[in-house]
């Protein structure tokens, strides 16, 4: 019985139904998320892209201060359209490093291993297909080489607030004193701007969420009727929490495989994603509480997004 099946059954069996957002990313999900990043409403990618396109030389030089030999690890690498700016700067600065993209999508890893060495001759790429910490454990530590772990795209915001401290402590466990974490945080701002980013007029985010049900149908033999669910995002400016749901439009029963069936009431939600927004001070407090110290804040021109550099202590 595979993990995908177990996680889906566990989530749909809960009193408050949920599905893990990491399963958004099959081949179609990867494609749809690329389209989301190009939406006019979806500002986080453009904000972080501005940081990488304009400040990568400075970031490269900062990393170089921590050692001439680096292992650059990216958690949830995606298509590397942002990190390629940093990779280029590191190559141009003649830093001795290997790039280890980690992603749950084997499709993503194959594309990166095929395309990046062609785009950046001399770049050493070793993709790791799997869960973040399983892959970090597999990678281990190389004597004399600093690790720099990239966690971009405000992916840390996809971790519920009651679990983010545990996540950062677990990340610290796989690193040595003096290693670096480079983490992207979406900052609190006008609530209307935030909500629009998860409810684009073109409906791509809606399709992205519904594709998760399509994937469960295809891979696990479920019988979700996609027309029976609607995408519904909400944002609470008090807590900084943005959540996405798929809401059942009618009373219905859904079966996953031959044995597991789940009853839905009309209006009953499936929680699919969280996207936490932060204040800068909260990110510093998170670092201090989990074994890091903040050493650099990098902002876009509107101060809507923060890439924080943390050192392991």
Region 28-47 average pLDDT: 93
Region 84-93 average pLDDT: 95
> What confidence tier does 75 reach under pLDDT thresholds 50, 70, 90?
very high
Helix, coil or strand: residue 32: helix
In the CATH scheme, what architecture does the domain 43-187+278-312 have? 3-Layer(aba) Sandwich (3.40)
**What's residue 30's pLDDT?**
86
Per-residue pLDDT at 210 exceeds 80: yes
| Residue whose entry in the numeric block shows the structure tokens 């009953």 | 268
Helix, coil or strand: residue 271: strand
Cα–Cα distance measured from residue 152 to residue 185, given in angstroms and rounded to the nearest whole number: 8
**What's residue 230's pLDDT?**
98
Query: The pTM is what?
Result: 0.90
Give the tokens for residue 224: 């979700």
Q: Which residue has the higher pLDDT, 33 or 209?
A: 209
**What's residue 236's pLDDT?**
97
Sign, Cα dihedral of 108, 180, 44, 187 = positive
Write the Ramachandran bin of 138: left for phi over 0, alpha for psi from -120 to 50, otherwise beta. alpha
Which among 100, 171, 170, 178 is positioned nearest to 144, based on CA atoms?
178
| Contact yes or no for 95/64 (Cβ under 8 A) | yes
Cα–Cα distance measured from residue 228 to residue 244, given in angstroms and rounded to the nearest whole number: 16
Q: Which residue has the higher pLDDT, 286 or 160?
A: 286
Region 125-136 average pLDDT: 94
Cα–Cα distance measured from residue 261 to residue 284, given in angstroms and rounded to the nearest whole number: 45
> What confidence tier does 105 reach under pLDDT thresholds 50, 70, 90?
confident
Report the chain's mean pLDDT, rounded to a whole number: 95
Per-residue pLDDT at 53 exceeds 90: yes
**What's residue 27's pLDDT?**
87
**What's residue 46's pLDDT?**
95
Query: Kind of pairing, strands 252-256 and 260-264?
Result: antiparallel
Q: End-to-end CA distance of the chain, in Å?
A: 40
**What's residue 144's pLDDT?**
81
**What's residue 262's pLDDT?**
98
| Residue whose entry in the numeric block shows the structure tokens 């943390």 | 310
Per-residue pLDDT at 172 exceeds 70: yes
Give the tokens for residue 272: 């699919």
Tell me the per-residue pLDDT of 289-312, one tens digit each, with 9 for 90 and over. Answer: 999 999 999 999 999 999 999 999
Tell me the per-residue pLDDT of 13-33, one tens digit each, with 9 for 90 and over. Answer: 999 999 999 899 888 998 999
| Contact yes or no for 27/216 (Cβ under 8 A) | no
Residue 35: CB atoms within 10 Å: 15
Query: Which contiguous run of DSSP H or E holds residue 208?
Result: helix 204-220
**What's residue 141's pLDDT?**
83
Q: What is the CA radius of gyration of the chain?
A: 20
Domain ranges of the chain: 3-40+201-276, 43-187+278-312
**What's residue 1's pLDDT?**
55
**What's residue 104's pLDDT?**
83
Tell me the per-residue pLDDT of 243-277, one tens digit each, with 9 for 90 and over. Answer: 999 999 999 999 999 889 999 999 999 999 999 99
> What confidence tier does 88 reach under pLDDT thresholds 50, 70, 90?
very high
Cα–Cα distance measured from residue 58 to residue 108, given in angstroms and rounded to the nearest whole number: 28
**What's residue 278's pLDDT?**
97
Per-residue pLDDT at 169 exceeds 60: yes
Q: What are phi and psi of 166, to 5 degrees?
A: -65, -40
**What's residue 106's pLDDT?**
86
Query: Which contiguous run of DSSP H or E holds residue 109?
Result: helix 106-119
């Amino acid at each position: 019985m595979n993990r995908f099946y177990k996680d889906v059954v566990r989530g749909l069996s809960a009193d408050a139904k949920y599905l893990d957002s990491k399963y958004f990313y099959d081949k179609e999900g990867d494609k749809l998320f690329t389209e989301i990043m190009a939406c006019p409403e979806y500002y986080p990618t453009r904000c972080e892209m501005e940081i990488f396109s304009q400040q990568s030389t400075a970031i490269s030089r900062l990393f170089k201060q921590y050692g001439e030999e680096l292992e650059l690890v990216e958690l949830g690498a995606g298509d590397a359209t942002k990190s390629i700016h940093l990779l280029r700067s590191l190559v141009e600065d003649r830093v001795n490093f290997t790039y280890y993209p980690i992603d749950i999508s084997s499709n993503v890893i194959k594309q990166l291993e095929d395309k990046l060495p062609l785009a950046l001759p001399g770049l050493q790429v070793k993709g790791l297909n799997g869960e973040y910490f399983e892959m970090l454990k597999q990678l281990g530590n190389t004597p004399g080489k600093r690790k720099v772990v990239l966690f971009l795209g405000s992916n840390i915001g996809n971790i519920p607030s009651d679990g983010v401290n545990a996540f950062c402590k677990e990340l610290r466990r796989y690193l040595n004193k003096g290693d670096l974490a480079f983490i992207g945080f979406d900052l609190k701002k006008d609530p209307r701007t935030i909500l629009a980013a998860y409810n684009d007029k073109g409906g791509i985010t809606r399709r992205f969420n519904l594709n998760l049900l399509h994937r469960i149908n295809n891979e696990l033999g479920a019988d979700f009727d996609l027309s029976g669910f609607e995408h519904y995002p909400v944002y609470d400016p008090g807590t900084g929490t943005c959540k996405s749901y798929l809401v059942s439009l009618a009373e219905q029963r859904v079966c996953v495989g031959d044995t597991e069936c789940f009853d839905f009431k009309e209006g009953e939600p499936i929680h699919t994603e969280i996207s936490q927004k932060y204040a800068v001070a909260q990110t510093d407090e998170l670092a201090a509480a989990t074994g890091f110290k903040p050493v650099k804040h990098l902002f876009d021109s509107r101060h809507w997004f923060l890439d924080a550099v943390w050192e392991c202590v």
